[in-house]
Amino acid sequence: MIKKPDEAAILKGLKDFQRNTVDYVFQQLYLEKTTARFLIADEVGLGKTLVAKGVLVKAINYLWDKVDRIDVLYICSNADIAHQNINKLNITADPELEHTSRITLLPLQLNGLKDKKLNFISFTPGTSFNLRSQGGVALERALIYHMLKEGWGFRERSGAKNLFQCGKAKDNWRNDLRRFNPGRIDQEIKASFLHALEGKPELRRRFDDLVERFGHYRKFFAPEDRRDRDRFIGELRSILAEVCIKKLDRTWLSSMNFNASKPCLMVKTRWQSSPNSSLIILA
């Protein structure tokens, strides 16, 4: 069981200017609530990560008795750096922090998050939010395939399998689909995803058209078919990403790269219903 973080111990190691920054940011975000977003910019090596950790522990302790679950979403432009820094930001005794590069894979992780008071999750914006015309990775497509298979009831149609195969080798892709366990999918996210699709009937029409066009396996499909396929899958991934964003609870957002701020800010606009959500950008 995760214990409430030791705020005094974490803040003790900060320099005066770092502590002053922590106190000011926290006051603006949570006490005076003058903003839901905050930018911290300084020279390299002056301790932005330490400041983020300080604000984080104060925010978590402030929310601890107010909400059932706290999700810390860390956004960084580089997956390797994100993995390193999320461990630096770890203010708990739990060495096992959740890490994934794609928010669209959250339905496969959420069951493990629900039982924990405090969760740390990291994403890279290039893979998580730039979705419109990309086919994503095989696990994402297998996840979407199985959710649509149940929701749209298309059964074992070769065209649907071919449609979501993209650049994966045929035999490997078929094995991926067979090995995928639909029982891992979070039921709430799946229901929300399928509900979101109900408001977009044109997607089902496009799906039926694409299934016909991809009905017979070919090693190379026409460029137009591939473009339409990627655009279709990209839109499904975008819808799924938005559904996943909404399922995260009271969340602290931070970015270690100013260039990543645009997707972070885009995400924050979808969190307005969560009054304790905050975004801090470190540049």
CA distance to 215, 226, 264, per residue, from 133 (Å): 22, 10, 19
List pLDDT tens digits, range 126-146: 665 555 557 888 999 999 999
CA angle 110, 103, 37 (to 5 degrees): 105
Query: CA-to-CA distance for 77 and 282, rounded, in angstroms?
Result: 12
259, 77 contact by CB (below 8 A): yes
How does DSSP classify residue 45?
T
Query: CA-to-CA distance for 177 and 189, rounded, in angstroms?
Result: 20
List pLDDT tens digits, range 34-86: 777 777 777 777 788 888 889 989 999 998 998 888 878 777 777 777 777 77
pLDDT at 114: 75
Query: CA-to-CA distance for 87 and 95, rounded, in angstroms?
Result: 8
pTM beyond 0.85: the answer is no
Query: CA-to-CA distance for 128 and 263, rounded, in angstroms?
Result: 9
Distance of CA 40 to the CA centre of its chain: 23
Main-chain phi, psi angles of 138, to 5 degrees: -60, -40
2: which strand partners? none
Query: CA-to-CA distance for 26 and 104, rounded, in angstroms?
Result: 30
Sign of the CA dihedral running 201, 207, 208, 210: positive
Query: CA-to-CA distance for 280 and 70, rounded, in angstroms?
Result: 16
- Which helix (H) or strand (E) segment is 72 a member of? strand 70-75
Spans of all domains in the chain: 7-130+249-282, 138-242
Helix locations, 91-222, DSSP H: 110-114, 125-128, 138-152, 158-165, 170-179, 187-198, 201-213
How does DSSP classify residue 68?
S
In the CATH scheme, what architecture does the domain 7-130+249-282 have?
A: 3-Layer(aba) Sandwich (3.40)
pLDDT at 183: 93
pLDDT at 267: 39
As a dihedral over the C-alpha atoms of residue 204, residue 105, residue 242, residue 182, rounded to 10 degrees, the angle is 40
Place of tokens 């799924």: 240
Low-confidence ranges of the chain (pLDDT < 50): 250, 255-258, 260-273, 283
Say which amino acid occupies 82.
A
Query: CA-to-CA distance for 43 and 180, rounded, in angstroms?
Result: 46
248, 4 contact by CB (below 8 A): no
